[in-house]
Amino acid sequence: MSLNIGLLGCGTIGYQVALELISKKFENLNLKKILVKDSKKIRENIDKSLFTTKAEEILQDPNIDLIVEVLGNEQPALDYVLTAINQKKHVVTANKELMAKHGKKIFSLALEQGVHVQMEAAVAGGIPVINTVQNDLKANHITEIIGILNGTTNYILSEMKGGEEFEEALKQAQEKGYAEPDPTNDLEGYDSKYKISILASLAFRKYISPDSVSCVGIRSISKKDFDLAKEMGFSIKLLGRAKLLNDKSLSINVSPYLISLDNPLSQVDGVLNAVEIKGDLVGELMLIGAGAGPKPTASSILGDILTIKNKGHKVFLPYNCKESFVITDKNISKFYLRLEVNDEKGVIRDIGCVLAENGLSIEAIVQKKEIDSACLTLITHEIEEALFFSSLKSVEKLSSVKKISSNFRVL
């Protein structure tokens, strides 16, 4: 079977995909047209005749079998993808926001029209995590997914682990092209939120909206947290995590986590991504690799195209689009808590009492004198997340506590 391909978008990723297709490494894959903003712009090694500025020249061309969507953002990507599916074209997309928000609609329409939609590149770049969850682990009852899903924040946190301050690490990331001029989406965890909701939908086989993911970014982490974490044998990572508590309820969040230094996840530094999947049969499986960049992303996109090329005609829904889960904050976790307290007698006793009243016990504690106050850092034993967050309110009210500086989960 041969496939005629239309490419929507020719930024760094689209350009790389175009080059690979043009190289003729792949039998029977023919790049027919590329949607660009400016068809006059010279793109080395791509024949100008391939360019069009009109989406309909691709979407309405009956000779095109498959579109690759690398535009990013919700619109016009959504309209284009739905139109393509209605025209019975297969879709390969790298668009996490699109698939997180509109996957239900897109997959339902694709089932109706009998075409395939693949999105390996939408999560964790070159790491084949979607295929692993959907196909290789199909026999498993998956119970948990944990991921370092954003290379920008992982780069910044790795630099902070090495001693940089946040602002300096962000500046470096921007200079190296790892962070956008407006880095909000990455820093606030929104990018990770889209990705963990896609992975959770596939793993637990019911659609989970990104809106249901509680989300804390990395601005709340300071260099001081890294120093303290390291002393206690931990590193800090921004994780997306989804955990099935029972058939009906799911804990899902994006948030900074302390990770023990003997867990390989703690060694995944720089722009790398990593995903850990827990299943009843496979146990724990971890995938580590490049989470972004033109080549790793093209690896996934081309893998998807080749999968469609060799697939049968049968189309499956990847998840139940009608039911979902109750999102709960009843997951059990250890917590890291850093407080700025008055440097006076009885502080630890006061805090210990308040925590005990809330059912919280302490596993490790470190107090350090600072200029006008003291820094009290503790790690709790396991507690229901909701209880921990509510007990923070009691801690905050103590006269000896000046400020809750940080509070993160411990993996």
Chain positions contacting a copy of itself, by CB under 8 A: 20, 25-26, 120, 126-128, 131-132, 135-140, 262-264, 267-268, 279-290, 293, 295-296, 298-300, 302-303, 305-307, 310-314, 316
Tokens 């890294």: give the residue: 226
Cβ proximity to a copy of itself: between 25 and 397 the closer is 25
Q: Read out DSSP for 280-343?
A: TTTEEEEEEEE-SSHHHHHHHHHHHHHHHHH--S----SSBSS---EE-S--EEEEEEEEEE-S
Tokens 């307290």: give the residue: 341
**Closest separation in Å from C-beta 386 to a copy of itself:** 32
Count of Cβ atoms closer than 10 Å to residue 70 Cβ: 27
**Closest separation in Å from C-beta 376 to a copy of itself:** 31
Cβ proximity to a copy of itself: between 142 and 354 the closer is 142
**Closest separation in Å from C-beta 398 to a copy of itself:** 40
d(C-alpha 158, C-alpha 270), whole Å: 6
Asked whether the beta carbons of 274 and 286 are under 8 A apart, the reply is: yes
> Who contacts 167 (Cβ-Cβ below 8 Å, separation ≥6)?
none
Which of the residues 96, 195, 237, 278 is marked catalytic? 195
Cβ proximity to a copy of itself: between 55 and 92 the closer is 92
List, edge to edge, every strand of the sheet that includes 117-118: 51-52, 29-35, 3-8, 66-69, 90-93, 117-118
For the question of residue 393 being annotated catalytic, the response is no
Asked whether the beta carbons of 302 and 295 are under 8 A apart, the reply is: no
d(C-alpha 360, C-alpha 383), whole Å: 7
Cβ proximity to a copy of itself: between 298 and 374 the closer is 298
Peptide bond into 76 cis (omega under 30): yes
Q: Read out DSSP for 68-123?
A: EE---SSTTHHHHHHHHHHTT-EEEE--HHHHHHHHHHHHHHHHHHT--EE-GGGS
**Closest separation in Å from C-beta 292 to a copy of itself:** 11
Phi/psi zone of residue 203: left (φ > 0), alpha (ψ -120 to 50 degrees), beta?
A: alpha
Cβ proximity to a copy of itself: between 306 and 365 the closer is 306
**Closest separation in Å from C-beta 86 to a copy of itself:** 25
Could you tell me how far CA 151 lies from the centroid of its own chain? 9
**Closest separation in Å from C-beta 68 to a copy of itself:** 13
d(C-alpha 124, C-alpha 195), whole Å: 8
Count of Cβ atoms closer than 10 Å to residue 115 Cβ: 21
Cβ proximity to a copy of itself: between 213 and 290 the closer is 290
d(C-alpha 200, C-alpha 103), whole Å: 12
**Closest separation in Å from C-beta 281 to a copy of itself:** 4
**Closest separation in Å from C-beta 301 to a copy of itself:** 8
Cβ proximity to a copy of itself: between 282 and 404 the closer is 282
Cβ proximity to a copy of itself: between 267 and 320 the closer is 267
d(C-alpha 211, C-alpha 226), whole Å: 30
List, by residue number, the catalytic residues. 195
